[in-house]
Structure 1
Amino acid sequence: MSSIFNFAFLVSTKVRGLELQNNKSIAEIRAGLREQIVTFEPADFESLALRVFRFQAEYNPIYREYIRHLGVDPARITDLTQIPFLPIQFFKNHRVATGHSSDASVIFQSSGTTGQATSHHHLYDEPLYKAVSYRIFQHNYGDLNRFHILALLPSYLERNNSSLVYMMQHFIEESESEYSGFYLNNTGEMLHRLRHLADNPDGRGVLLLGVTFALLDLAESSFDLSFLQNIEHFTVMDTGGMKGRRKELLREEVHDILTASFGVPAIHSEYGMTELLSQGYSHGHGLFVPGYSMRVLLRDINDPFTISDHNLGSSKTGGINVIDLANLDTCSFIETQDLGRFGEKAGTFYVMGRFDNSDIRGCNLMVL
């Protein structure tokens, strides 16, 4: 594998520039794929993913050279498990883009400790990202205007390039609620709003979404949280991440603390990261359902090119590979550094942790 990563440092001097005369055909192909990504039905996922693969294998310089380096002929790929997945580390050292020769107006950046290389994800199509993320949320929870959304994301709000903050800003706006909003250091105001919603139910659900350490800080604070049990349709969602603020805990330990303090039967979770524009959601117990535009596959821990897209048994753990069709303008085939296993229900998955020596990231990576 070392030769693959050594190759990454040479790619920028070897790739061919996209030729101008192809721009029109690229735009036409992309427009057709984009339309399908917004509207396709689940049964059409595999055929659409293969079309996106061929598009990116041709018009993404980094991905094209990576495939060539592996000696893979894109024309011979007929199954999702045969597709080469781009190691997520490429987002740290290269601008990963399909059919675009310039930077995007929005560039998401991953979190990281001082001196640590971070990933950059260029967003070229804001409406596509918003449409996909809305549809995924709607499928799991219903329309956004049925919720008051309170986001407790202190570590993310301290940065101005977080994809999670960008998505939540969109959700807050779509909720059209005067009680929806972000909370950095104003926990008291947030609790005041929650108490008002407990005393004055209006039929909407209440979604409290937060980074793990902030939810734990609130749960273990001196505030009286007993009134939260009176909120109708109250959902607490953990986005993961201790950010070095607290000792790492098992997911079960964290969720036991949160369920007891917030008076809810289960803690929901969101699975996402800077390099992905689609999300997965868990309604409890760490079992995630990927968004409609997303498919999770597992690779063998010792052989990253042995990939499975079906249930290998509840005890089988592998590296998580993600197909994210919303990544149309970057790369839809990502080899993450997460460890996971399939759930009993087709398409579902658990996140078990990270590979050794991987960067600690802000997505939901608490060990089962």
Structure 2
Amino acid sequence: MGANYHTLTHLVPAAFEAAALSLFRYQAVRCPPYRDFLASLGRDPAAVQRLVDIPFLPIEFFKTHEVRTDPSQWQPQEVFRSSGTTLQQRSRHLVRDPALYRANAAAIFEAAYGPLTDWIFLALLPSYLEQGESSLVAMVADFAQRSGQSQPAFFLRDHAGLLRALADAKQQPGRRVMLFGVTYALLDLAAEVGPAPELQNLTVLETGGMKGRRREMIREELHQELQAAFGPAPLHSEYGMTELLSQAYSPGEGLFYCPPQLRVLLRDPADPFSVAEDRADGAINVIDLANVDSCAFIETKDLARRHPSGAFEVLGRLDNSDIRGCSQLV
């Protein structure tokens, strides 16, 4: 069973459940950790007839197991690892075809923001660069390459170099500028340079949270501090993680919209089997149909609220959960 990533980005909502159930029946047999997990629950895959009846694999399995479907048929060509502190065990996503991951991420971005060639991408992602093997770094590097930009994309902690690159990028005709930044690094930049002219009229996309480097802040406080430096435009965000090959984007106000191949369902945090499509708030279970070669059905430790528009808002993390790579603002 293979993934046609271009088809996934055009999947209509009415076809999602059938596609998910088909992938579930495949992975329930061919993904050993998921197969064993289902057996431990006493669940017969043939009895699962609805989306909400699919058991979701706890995300911790990506730390303790090689989560691969048909593992005898392929070897990983790339390994992505989660961010975290030095004392935390990092999750691993074993990738069969790195080019397909990048094609999927590019298609999702273009559906939300338009052609990559309309953009220049710059990034302030120090912890991801230092720890290495980051899917976010791989994605941004690929976006920069596909855009055809001449500017380097990554600046670690070189704020002066970033400002020069921003000034140059803003002079390029017909191009918009997007700055990807881990939250604490954007705050560090804002504190150092203030409302510099180079920081105005950008699309700022924050992701990754504080990584233990700064105190946690509520969204309103964070946005007020960042907008003092970057101006009043809405702050964009990305909901993604090592264990997913797809992403959801927020164009502002912390409301994330799923692409066609991604769906968020909510559960009672105290009951892993209480998934409901109409639940208004709870812990996130996510289905990523791009995860053909790992596991598409993941029980996360994120808390969220669903809005009438269909968007979801990330509220934080379950108690005692690891600090993770997606946006965790409340």
> Could you say which TM-score interval applies, normalised by the shorter chain?
over 0.9
The residue type equivalent to 2:143 in the other structure is F
Correspondence list, 1:171-182, <5 A: 171-182=143-154
Change (3 A) 1:183 1:318: same
CA distance in structure 2 between the aligned counterparts of 1:227 and 1:365, rounded to whole angstroms: 27
Residue 61 (structure 1) aligns with: 32
The residue type equivalent to 1:212 in the other structure is T
- The offset of 1:65, in angstroms, is 1.2
Residue 209 (structure 1) aligns with: 180
Q: Deviations over 1:63-102 (max 9, x none)?
A: 0111111111111211110000000011111000001236
Counterpart secondary structure, 2:257:
strand
Residue 282 (structure 1) aligns with: 250
Residue 306 (structure 1) aligns with: 274
Residue 260 (structure 1) aligns with: 228
TM-score by length of 2: 0.95
Counterpart secondary structure, 2:303:
strand
- The offset of 1:54, in angstroms, is 0.6
The residue type equivalent to 2:188 in the other structure is D
Correspondence list, 1:144-155, <5 A: 144-155=116-127
CA distance in structure 1 between the aligned counterparts of 2:251 and 2:10, rounded to whole angstroms: 25
Counterpart secondary structure, 1:195:
helix
Counterpart secondary structure, 2:149:
coil
CA distance in structure 2 between the aligned counterparts of 1:32 and 1:224, rounded to whole angstroms: 45
Counterpart secondary structure, 2:20:
helix
State whether residues 126 and 156 of structure 2, in contact with CA within 8 Å, keep that contact through their aligned partners in structure 1: yes
Change (3 A) 1:175 1:248: same
CA distance in structure 2 between the aligned counterparts of 1:32 and 1:149, rounded to whole angstroms: 28
Counterpart secondary structure, 2:68:
coil
Indicate whether 1:295 and 2:263 are aligned: yes
Counterpart secondary structure, 2:226:
helix
Counterpart secondary structure, 2:285:
strand
Q: Deviations over 1:105-144 (max 9, x none)?
A: 2111112223322211101121221121111101110111
Change (3 A) 1:32 1:189: closer
The residue type equivalent to 1:126 in the other structure is P
State whether residues 5 and 104 of structure 2, in contact with CA within 8 Å, keep that contact through their aligned partners in structure 1: no
CA distance in structure 2 between the aligned counterparts of 1:290 and 1:355, rounded to whole angstroms: 22
Indicate whether 1:323 and 2:295 are aligned: no
Uncovered stretches (5+) of structure 2, i.e. residues with no partner: none
Q: Deviations over 1:209-253 (max 9, x none)?
A: 100011001111145513433x4xx20000132122111111221
Change (3 A) 1:148 1:35: closer
Counterpart secondary structure, 2:79:
strand
Q: Aligned Cα RMSD in Å?
A: 1.7
Uncovered stretches (5+) of structure 1, i.e. residues with no partner: 1-29
Residue 241 (structure 2) aligns with: 273
CA distance in structure 2 between the aligned counterparts of 1:151 and 1:265, rounded to whole angstroms: 18
Residue 319 (structure 2) aligns with: 356
Question: Over alpha carbons, which structure has the higher Rg?
Answer: 1
**Length, aligned pairs only:** 329
Change (3 A) 1:47 1:36: farther
TM-score by length of 1: 0.85
State whether residues 38 and 128 of structure 1, in contact with CA within 8 Å, keep that contact through their aligned partners in structure 2: no
CA distance in structure 1 between the aligned counterparts of 2:7 and 2:203, rounded to whole angstroms: 32
- The offset of 1:298, in angstroms, is 0.2
Correspondence list, 1:72-111, <5 A: 72-101=43-72, 103-111=75-83
The residue type equivalent to 1:295 in the other structure is R
